[in-house]
Amino acid sequence: MSAETRHHQVAVIGTGVSGLYQLKRLIDLGVDTLALEADDDLGGTWYRNRYPGARFDSESYTYGYSFSKELLDEWHWKERFSSQPENLRYLNYVADKFDLRRHMRFGARVETLAWDEGERLWHLGLSGGETHTARFVVSGIGVLSVPALPSYEGMDDFAGESFHTYWWPKEPVALEGRRVGVIGTGATGIQVIADIADRVGELTVFQRRPNWSTPLNNSPISETEMAEIRARYDEIFANCAASPGGFEHTPDRRGFWNVSREERIAFWDQLYDRPGFAILSGNFPEIFFDEAANREISEYVAGRIRRRVDDPRLAEKLIPKDHGFGMQRLPLETRYFEAYNRDNVHLVDLSESPIERINEGGIQTRAGHHDLDLIVYATGFDAITGAFDQMQIRGVDGQLLGDKWRDGPSTYLGVLTHGFPNLLMVAGPQSVSGSTNFPRAIERGVDWVTELLEHAFAKGYSRLEAQPDAEREWVEEVVRVQEGLLLRRSKGWFTGYNANVAGHQEGKVRYQAYFAGAPRYREFLEKAAADGYPRIEKG
């Protein structure tokens, strides 16, 4: 170990929602911990995604941390679904309140992680050449933190501004009167399009595949309502803990086929007008595994889209035909479909007229040229495993994690992976963090990781590694659950699909998240802890 190498008992990678809470838990225990952040400030998702329309799609008061009553009493969420600037202010407030910044290093991108079996240490190499060692490394690197760009010919030739939504500039971007092209209509694209449609000169949307989307139904939160929310926080978090999706919305257990079609339609009318994921998480469970039930809810949502778009032919282009409702990540929107009723908004269906190249003046499709001043790539992320692939992680005998996970991740409980001792993942692959209300999932994940570390410290263990059989059995559980759901056939990041990411194209299903719900996942975690972590080799 060189004189310049700094050693810490635990290194936390990332200072987003999960990294902040993990850092606080370890500091409270008196553990020597350093948090390394690639960006120049904290916030993760809410630091980097500054595009117009970026906001929660979880109710704000279910997204905030639950660990501190004082924090809950102090913070006033201004909107039911809070916007990016307010979300970043919240995370900074948390960091300052608990004096977390002095344990963080910004501009510290981890490029290499190498396990030393003799020393039982991780060696961390940063982009600037700095090195650190740590007995344990906890990753808090997020599930959507590596943007994916397409590879159209001529992208560098465009004379105007262009960027992925993840890299939206900190400085204001001029929109008024400009000709703007947005490529992609996933969750991010839908937010951007709805937000800027009435501010730009001309907006051309290049749609690769349409997505189902339902209303966000956002609203302000008054002082009176916030006081009522504070009074029932215990109830709110208990409801979230009992819900498969980690929201206050809970499934309707009456049975899809026990309710008449007329009653189902009336019920869906109510859910459609309720805030957030009510139409998804408060629906009948059968829509996720019964094809006939899913066809019916899909046709219902398609009907609502048709009622909102003036041009019937255009409405049909905005309705997915390749997957049913809820089979991919559901974007929530505010007047997104109404944007297409504006004279200055134009849809280009890339399935009919694909992009041939990008040139100095705009985008050339098979059908013609589109003159543009600004191109926005809303083309998604290398989800869940992408941030791990950005680092060269070498475990026992120099094995590369990227090689081990080439065809898809394999983990034990989404927290450890065999061959990479003392690497603990918060919101890791095959946990529920990618499939449920993120902070509700990561709080339990952080607590479990912290309890495991406390156990190791108390017993004098310096090495923790998942047993290979435990990992194999967990992967089997993840696969079993996913194969029982209709989403198994979907082409979205739930199943590891992104046409812009090598190895993630159609036909390569990846089992990246656990879809049995937060309560069942929590049962696995709690049993492992109660039994003394028998499936983890300790020494």
pLDDT per residue of the chain (539 residues) written in tens, 0 to 9: 444 889 999 999 999 999 999 999 999 999 999 999 999 999 999 999 999 999 999 999 999 999 999 999 999 999 999 999 999 999 999 999 999 999 999 999 999 999 999 999 999 999 999 999 999 999 999 999 999 999 999 999 999 999 999 999 999 999 999 999 999 999 999 999 999 999 999 999 999 999 999 999 999 999 999 999 999 999 999 999 999 999 999 999 999 999 999 999 999 999 999 999 999 999 999 999 999 999 999 999 999 999 999 999 999 999 999 999 999 999 999 999 999 999 999 999 999 999 999 999 999 999 999 999 999 999 999 999 999 999 999 999 999 999 999 999 999 999 999 999 999 999 999 999 989 999 999 999 999 999 999 999 999 999 999 999 999 999 999 999 999 999 998 888 888 877 777 777 666 789 999 999 999 999 999 999 999 999 999 99
**Alpha-carbon separation of residue 197 from 165, 349, 392 (angstroms):** 16, 18, 41
* 357 bridge partner residues: 364
- What lies within 8 Å, CB to CB, of 335 at 6+ separation is 194
Specify if 428 maps to a domain.
yes
For position 2, what pLDDT does the model report? 46
Say which residues have a Cβ less than 8 Å from residue 92's Cβ, sequence separation at least 6: 42, 43
Q: Note the pLDDT tens digit of each residue in 117-145.
A: 999 999 999 999 999 999 999 999 999 99
| Residue 52 belongs to some domain of the structure | yes
Q: Hey, is 147 helix, strand or coil? A: strand
CA dihedral 140, 145, 146, 150 (to 10 degrees): 160
In a domain, 406, yes or no: yes
Task: Write the CB contacts of 68 (distance below 8 Å, at least 6 apart in sequence).
Answer: none
194-200-206-212 Cα dihedral, nearest 10 degrees: 10
196 vs 200: CA distance, rounded Å: 6
Local structure of 131: helix, strand or coil: strand
Q: Is residue 439 part of a domain?
A: yes
Is residue 366 one of the residues assigned to a domain?
no
For residue 78, tell me if it sits in a domain. Answer: yes
Residue 476 within a domain: yes
Pairing mode, if any, of strands 202-207 and 110-116?
unpaired
User: CA 362 to CA 372: how far, in whole Å?
Assistant: 5
Any domain includes 463: yes
Distance CA 30, CA 529 (A): 22
CATH label of the domain that carries residue 127 = 3.50.50.60
Report CA-CA distances (Å) from 180 to 67, 108, 494: 43, 34, 29
- 493/503 Cα distance (integer angstroms): 13
Measured distance CA(158)–CA(179) in Å, rounded? 13
Chain centroid to CA 528: how far? 26
* Residue 5 token pair: 């190498």
Residue 332 identity (one-letter amino acid): L
Select from 449, 381, 441 the least CA-distant residue to 415: 449
Task: Count up the domains in the chain and report the number.
Answer: 1
Query: Whole domain around residue 519: which residue ranges?
Result: 6-146+382-533
Q: Please list, in sequence order, all residues whose beta carbon lies within 8 angstroms of the beta carbon of residue 200, skipping any fewer than 6 positions away.
A: 175, 176, 177, 178, 179, 180, 344
